[in-house]
């Protein structure tokens, strides 16, 4: 016996294909929504982690800024302390200089020369006085050029002094400038060593 299917099988196939298409479309949409949700959650988590890192970095930067300010303050304090130390060292090295200068002047001043004034300005000293003759002033200059603590003696002026009617001697007023040699650190420490030699 031969069986013949009289049902509309083509329409059934079309309906099945249509239903399968819509099911596939729905599943694709669901999978797309799930992927989009997963990506959104992942991005949210990454954003939160980055925000947390940013907050941590901001807090650390604030700490570093405070430390930098402390370091700048410490550097200023160190510079101030070094300046004070240099000032104390300079005072320590220069405290015996006037004694050495006066000692040299008394040692190298020849007879017939009278010192009237000694004025120091930094490392330069102006000496004024009265001499019995020009030769005495020249001798003083020669002597000072051999001095240990005095350098570059230079005659500024020499002139005849005002004549005193009671004193028939002829005198000369003079002014000369000398430099003071800088002592070595050892000389500044003990005040007894020789000054540094100029190169």
Whether residue 192 lies inside any domain: the answer is: no
| 79 and 33 part of one domain | yes
| 49 and 107 part of one domain | no
- Cα-based distances in Å from 191 to 19, 33, 123: 113, 93, 17
Whether residue 106 lies inside any domain: the answer is: yes
Can you give the pLDDT at residue 100?
A: 81
Residue 190 has pLDDT above 60, yes or no: no
| 169 and 100 part of one domain | yes
Which of 95, 130, 164 is at the close of a domain?
A: 95
Q: Which residue has the higher pLDDT, 133 or 43?
A: 43
Whether residue 198 lies inside any domain: the answer is: no
User: What are the beta bridge partners of residue 130?
Assistant: 114, 173
Can you give the pLDDT at residue 102?
A: 85
| 55 and 112 part of one domain | no
Average pLDDT over residues 10-39: 90
Whether residue 188 lies inside any domain: the answer is: no
Domain count, the chain: 2
Can you give the pLDDT at residue 124?
A: 87
* 8-12, 18-22, 52-56: segment of lowest average pLDDT: 8-12
Residue 33 has pLDDT above 90, yes or no: yes
Q: How many CA atoms lie within 13 A of 21 on its CB side?
A: 6
| 121 and 50 part of one domain | no
| 60 and 102 part of one domain | no
Whether residue 56 lies inside any domain: the answer is: yes
Whether residue 54 lies inside any domain: the answer is: yes
- The residue behind tokens 């009265």 is 130
| 107 and 64 part of one domain | no
Can you give the pLDDT at residue 132?
A: 86
Structure tokens at 81: 């302390």
* DSSP H helix total and E strand total for the chain: 4, 4
Q: What's the domain range around 144?
A: 96-183
| 146 and 76 part of one domain | no
Whether residue 163 lies inside any domain: the answer is: yes
d(CA 139, CA 100): 20
pTM assigned to the model: 0.47
CATH code, domain with 152? 3.30.1360.100
pLDDT band at 188 (very low <50, low <70, confident <90, very high): very low
pLDDT band at 81 (very low <50, low <70, confident <90, very high): very high
List pLDDT tens digits, range 118-153. 898 878 889 999 998 888 888 988 888 888 888 888
Residue 155 has pLDDT above 90, yes or no: no
* 112-116, 137-141, 168-172: segment of lowest average pLDDT: 168-172
Are 113 and 155 spatial neighbours (Cβ–Cβ below 8 Å)? no
Q: Which residue has the higher pLDDT, 122 or 47?
A: 47
Are 159 and 194 spatial neighbours (Cβ–Cβ below 8 Å)? no
| 106 and 117 part of one domain | yes
């Amino acid at each position: 016996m031969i069986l013949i299917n009289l049902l509309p099988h083509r329409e059934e196939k079309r309906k099945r294909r249509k239903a399968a298409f819509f099911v596939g479309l729905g599943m694709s949409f669901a999978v797309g929504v799930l992927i989009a949700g997963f990506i959104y959650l992942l991005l949210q988590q990454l954003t939160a982690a980055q925000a947390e890192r940013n907050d941590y970095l901001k807090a650390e930067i604030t700490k570093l800024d405070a430390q930098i300010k402390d370091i700048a303050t410490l550097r200023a304090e160190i510079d101030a302390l070094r300046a004070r130390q240099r000032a104390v060292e300079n005072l320590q090295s220069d405290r015996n200089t006037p004694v050495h200068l006066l000692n040299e002047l008394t040692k190298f001043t020849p007879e017939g020369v009278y010192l009237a004034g000694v004025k120091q300005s930094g490392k330069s000293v102006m000496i004024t006085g009265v001499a019995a003759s020009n030769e005495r002033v020249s001798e003083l200059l020669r002597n000072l050029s051999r001095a240990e603590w005095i350098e570059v003696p230079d005659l500024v002026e020499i002139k005849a002094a005002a004549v005193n009617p009671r004193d028939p001697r002829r005198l000369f007023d003079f002014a000369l400038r000398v430099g003071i040699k800088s002592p070595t650190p050892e000389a500044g420490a003990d005040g007894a060593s020789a000054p540094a030699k100029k190169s």
